[in-house]
Amino acid sequence: MNDIVWYYTAVKNPDGAMLLGVPLRDLTEADMAEFPKHTIASIEAHDMYRKTKPTAPKPDTEDDPPKTARRKGAGIDAVGADSADDAPQEGRD
């Protein structure tokens, strides 16, 4: 009867808000049996509690695309330029 049935997700609650009488932690079957119906409805409606176990974020791998992207067709000297004419060039004023 101590199985977790609602998982608390702190990142969904950055201000530390709480529902009256509900602890800021994972909730067990025993916890839920103690709450009145209106409190259970509040838990079910709030983003900081979820029915499914949160998954750990996937670590970046070498196969992942780079986090930054260049504009299509931009050369090394023209990063951010709209065309080769806009790229900085030596000897041009």
What domain range is 35 assigned to? 4-50
* Residue 28, in any domain of the structure: yes
Q: How many domains would you assign to the chain? A: 1
* Residue 26, in any domain of the structure: yes
* Residue 67, in any domain of the structure: no
**Cβ-contact 27, 49 below 8 angstroms:** yes
- ∠ CA 40-49-9, nearest 5°, is 155
* Residue 66, in any domain of the structure: no
* Residue 30, in any domain of the structure: yes
* Residue 40, in any domain of the structure: yes
* Residue 62, in any domain of the structure: no
**One pLDDT digit (tens) per residue for the chain, 93 residues:** 579 999 999 999 999 999 999 999 999 999 999 999 999 999 999 999 999 876 766 666 666 555 555 555 555 554 454 555 555 566 655
- What's the pTM value of the predicted model, to 2 decimals? 0.56
Q: In angstroms, rounded to a whole number, what is the distance separating the alpha carbons of residues 34 and 30?
A: 7
* Residue 87, in any domain of the structure: no
